[in-house]
Amino acid sequence: MRSMLPPAIRRPRPHLALPLAATLLLSGCQLIQPPPASAILPEQGMQTLRGLAQPVTVHRDPRDVPLIESASLHDGLFTLGYLHGRDRLAQMIRLRLLADGRLAELDGAPALPLDRLLRALDLRHGAAELLRSASPQMRQILDVYARGVNAALFAQRRALPAELAGLQPAPAYWQAEDSALLFYLLDLALSGNLEDELAALWLAPRVDQRLLATLLGDGPEQPLDTEELALLQGPVQPPSAALLRELLYTLRRFDQQAPGVHSSLQVAVHASRSRGGRSLLAMDSRHSSTQAPWYAVQFKTPRYQVAGAGLPGLPLLLQGFNGQLTWSLGSIRADTQDLAIESLRRRGAGFEYRHQDGSWQTLQARPATFFIRGQRPQRHPLYASANGPLLHDPHGQPSALALRRPALNGDRSLDALFALSRAPSLEQAHDAARAVRTPAVHLLYADAGSIAWQVAGRYPNRLSGRGLLPVPGWQPQRAWDGYADSMLHPYDQDPARGALVLAGQRSVAPGYGVQMAAAWQTAQVAEQLEQRLAKGAVEAGSLARWLAQHPAPRHTLLERLSQPQSLQHLPAAQAESLRQTLAALDLPPRPEAASGLRWRVDFSQQEPLKLRLWPAQREADTRPPRTASAPLAPLTRRAQEPARAEAVLRLLPAAR
């Protein structure tokens, strides 16, 4: 068997560049890829890898963004997996442990409450459903990518990154389901208003009910459902204040670990308003986790040429550009889930809950063992009702909180996002965007002459109420009746104002038939940008600089109430009472937003076509890419059989 780590070294060929028919600019601190363990996996040279069918070249730009040049999609995906495993293995393993509820194996006892919550949510079960629903081609894509990850993991098996030191057992090899798991974790991080619902339940007995209705209402045109609010004053006995506080603490810890978004500002400018006469798209997204989540990459294969950024562990680009179309994904804190308060009673060694049909039924229980670094394992049962998994241990509580989330059966969002990355036109992009059910997000996209916006996701049709407060789980009128038809999701194309701006402000018109989100932010940033865009033709560089200087943070309910100006409209006594209530909660502050992904695409660049990489601005003449609409060839038998071929992977150093 030939060595996987040949020592041969080659000098770089700096003329290599990706042929994209527009100007592409990348910036953000996470694009300076963390240095890999070069003693184990050399940063340059040639490596012979099992699984590659033909030689592949990887060239890095001055900010360490890799360009993968391969003769097939199979080899390109394998190489992307290898690079993710080489550069971001510690991040990938940590995210997998987080999603599986096993982070205490690495971080010890402080991570145990977070593990209990994630283990209860059972994201692994959802990931398996996503994988079953995916097309055979998508499953092949994930398999090939996983083999590339495992090539890097195998090479590092005896010298893991320092962040993984002491992890026992050693990390298991990557599987296609692990990529689906991180995708479902991303859904939990980007969509849902779980913290807001828990905060509302905490506030309900502590503030005047009319004040609570004002705080939770979505403006005067959509006040809080008074019937929904009255339910909390009836026979419903919510869990204890101590438990609610613990759950809110745990969600803050989740925000520190998960690939969430603290600030997101997306702008698309129509060709008629652009100084170059063609469309512009720009995005500034800042993360709230303790690690930079995104990984930028460029692909050059005969039938798949694209540049963008995604999450290590996933072979999908969530922001990207394929030479004909550019797209950007942004969070809207979608209201796709509901909390149900379950009435409990003891029954022998277990529990029963009041079902919607009026009967008492047994809570489903499954055993779970938690391994904790430096301590003995702990065993805790996890419970679920017909409304979903319980977020906590029901012992000693008069009731329990169950989380109801959309079903994933038939969800082909993985395929839809891959189709979006290959779409050659706005029309095909729209078809792909409408098929994205997970995560529930904004999608902004543009080609050279048009711009468009689409709300994606799976939104429940509630029989009554708006889902802003936890509701009694035994009331059948609080159930869901399927999901909103994605054909009717809000959509806009080429608006008369000449631009689409998404800064967390209300983007779904009042009166829309389905509750999509309630955590709308102030429209101040969006209004300032729209005023600036109205002054004249827009230039890409000045637009990007403006976005960098005007972040648009996404605040939770508690964060909004903590803002200095947020309580000025209230009577002094009410405002002071609310301040004291928030102080008593004493939650840890959310981490400051770190520099995240900044992305812009300018279609106005004419022949000769050039690629620019921000901020080094290296330029190279390129040729137009082949059409992205050509059908992809099969990934070859190596996507389905154990890989036996060996080919050379060339690693060229960054040009400085």
Q: Cβ atoms within 10 A of the Cβ of 588, count?
A: 10
Spell out a b/e string for 240-279, using b for 16 or more CB atoms within 10 Å of the CB, else e: eeebbbebbbbbbbbbebbbbbbbbbbbbbbbebbbbebb
Alpha carbon of residue 633 to chain centroid: 29
Residues 310, 139, 414, CA angle at the centre, nearest 5°?
Answer: 45
Q: For residue 138, what are its two tokens? A: 């998508």
Q: Which long-range contacts (CB under 8 A, 24 or more apart) does 572-578 make?
A: 574/207, 574/208, 574/211, 577/207, 578/207, 578/211
DSSP state, residue 129: H
For the chain, the straight-line distance linking the first and the last C-alpha, in angstroms and rounded, comes to 36
Measured over the CA atoms of residue 447, residue 595, residue 618 and residue 311, the dihedral's sign is negative
Q: Cβ atoms within 10 A of the Cβ of 467, count?
A: 23
Contact (Cβ atoms closer than 8 angstroms) between residue 286 and residue 262: yes
Distance between CA atoms of residues 239 and 133, nearest Å: 36
Peptide bond into 312 cis (omega under 30): no
Contact (Cβ atoms closer than 8 angstroms) between residue 309 and residue 12: no
**Beta strand 471-472 pairing with 338-347:** parallel
Q: Is 264 a catalytic residue?
A: yes
DSSP-derived secondary structure for 494-522: S-TTSEEEESSS--S-TT-SS--B--PPP
Which residues lie closer than 8 Å to 344 by C-beta, 6 or more apart? 351, 352, 353, 363, 394, 397, 398, 399, 400
Percent helix, percent strand, percent coil in the chain, to nearest 5: 30, 20, 45
Distance between CA atoms of residues 417 and 436, nearest Å: 7
Q: Where are the alpha helices (DSSP H) in 176-265?
A: 176-190, 194-203, 209-216, 226-231, 241-257
Which residues lie closer than 8 Å to 57 by C-beta, 6 or more apart? 16, 68, 69, 70, 649, 650, 652
Contact (Cβ atoms closer than 8 angstroms) between residue 632 and residue 137: yes
Contact (Cβ atoms closer than 8 angstroms) between residue 507 and residue 474: no
Candidates 515, 461, 454, 518; CA nearest to 489 is 454
Which residue among 264, 274, 289, 507 is the active-site one? 264
Contact (Cβ atoms closer than 8 angstroms) between residue 460 and residue 480: yes
Beta bridge partners of 594: 287
Q: Which residues are catalytic?
A: 264
